[in-house]
């Protein structure tokens, strides 16, 4: 694949797991852990796909998703949201704000890989 994913996540074990899964699948994985500066990272190194945690230090993933969708350069960028809270209201909000997919932690390695591939096929 050779594409870039930006993983915005603050849990080290999740960062390690997703980085490993996607690196083995041919992705270049960039990571960022702070919600306050997440958009700076998106702008500095525009990825092909973003995996975005809902609960981050500084700003929520929902706020970051709003910012992503508000910028014309990133309005169509695929975004998969992750959360430890699998409540329907969180899923509904993420989808209303423009998330392409919403995944609840814990997740299977295969599901992450499958959804990332699917999102890239849908947006290519």
Total count of domains within the chain: 1
- The token pair at 118 is 């699917």
Query: What tens digit of pLDDT does each residue of 2-38 get?
Result: 599 999 999 999 999 999 999 999 999 999 999 999 9
Give the pLDDT of residue 84: 85
Report residues of the chain scoring pLDDT below 70.
1-2
pTM reported for the whole predicted model: 0.95
Considering the domain boundaries, does residue 124 fall inside one?
no
Q: How far apart are CA 122 and CA 94, in angstroms?
A: 18
Question: Residue 85's pLDDT is what?
Answer: 78
Q: Could you give the CA distance from residue 20 to residue 33 in angstroms, rounded to a whole number?
A: 17
Per-residue confidence (pLDDT) for residue 2, from 0 to 100: 56
Residues recorded for the chain: 124
Tokens standing for residue 96: 């209303």
Which CATH number is 61's domain given? 3.40.50.2300
Would residue 111 count as lying in a domain? yes
């Amino acid at each position: 694949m050779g594409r870039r994913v930006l993983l915005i996540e603050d849990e080290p074990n999740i960062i390690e797991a997703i980085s490993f899964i996607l690196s083995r699948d041919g992705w270049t994985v960039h990571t960022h852990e702070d919600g306050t500066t997440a958009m700076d990272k998106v702008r500095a190194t525009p990825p092909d796909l973003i995996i975005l945690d809902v609960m981050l230090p500084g700003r929520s993933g929902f706020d970051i998703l709003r910012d992503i969708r508000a910028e014309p350069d990133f309005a169509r960028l695929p975004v998969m949201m992750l959360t430890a809270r699998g409540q329907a209201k969180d899923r509904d909000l993420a989808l209303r704000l423009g998330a392409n997919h919403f995944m609840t932690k814990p997740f299977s390695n295969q599901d992450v890989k499958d959804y990332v591939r699917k999102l890239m096929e849908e947006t290519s």
